[in-house]
Amino acid sequence: MVREKSIAAMKRLWLSVIILTISVAGQAEAIELLPHMSAPSVEQPPVAPNTEQPAPVNAAVEIGLVIKLSERRVYVYRGDRIEKSFPIAIGRRGWETPTGKFKVLHMERDPIWEHPLNGQVIPPGPNNPLGARWIGFWTDGRNYIGFHGTPNERLVGQAVSHGCIRMRNRDIEALYEMVKVGTPVTVEP
């Protein structure tokens, strides 16, 4: 009975507090719970819209991604075995895709895209340059690089992006289901 009263009190308290979440850039953002929103359960932290929580750790061998820029392909490894590969578009001259070892930082279904130069916001849909999914793996705190779909699938296989890894929408949707936040990403020349 005391525990039930404590939980009820905590839920009421959630309605009047500001929840701090950490954004991909590592900066705190404040999200205020509105009166029409229900309080989160005591067991579950709040989730930002359109973002994915890390998948439960599988006891089986973990997935890893290797991007081979010279081949314009991403390879999905389970342990040391190639499970799948997909063709990709990479960063063009002056906007090269960074090489090195990274991890998946952020995943988003039906992403919204904001033009970096003029601030125009493109909602999810067939004209969104990010396509159907976003899997971010690099940031300098202001700019982001990741895997995403594209409405111009004929450009896959070319060096045309601003550093991101463009994929056919059906391929990014398949890759999205195979990875989780924390999945290792290696980018090789």
Q: What is the pLDDT of residue 36?
A: 29
Residue 143 inside a domain? The answer is yes
Q: What is the pLDDT of residue 31?
A: 26
Q: Evaluate whether 88 touches 150 at the Cβ level (below 8 Å).
A: no
Residue 51 inside a domain? The answer is no
Active site residue ranges? 148, 164
Q: What is the pLDDT of residue 115?
A: 84
**Co-location of 8 and 99 in the same domain:** no
**Co-location of 17 and 76 in the same domain:** no
DSSP output for 94-150:
TSPPPPEEEE--EEEES--EE-TTT--EE-SSTT-TTTTEEEEEEE-SS-EEEEE--
Token duo for residue 83: 């499970």
d(CA 104, CA 66): 12
**Co-location of 94 and 171 in the same domain:** yes
Residue 161 inside a domain? The answer is yes
Q: What is the pLDDT of residue 60?
A: 61
**Total number of domains in the chain:** 2
Q: Residue 15 is part of which domain span?
A: 2-32
**Co-location of 9 and 96 in the same domain:** no
- C-alpha 46, offset from chain centre: 17
Residue 56 inside a domain? The answer is no
C-alpha distances in Å from residue 174, one per residue of 16, 25, 116, 135: 40, 26, 27, 12
Residue with tokens 């890893």: 64
Average pLDDT per consecutive 10 residues, the chain (189 residues; last block may be shorter): 38 29 30 28 38 50 95 97 97 96 97 88 92 95 92 94 95 97 98
Q: What is the pLDDT of residue 117?
A: 81
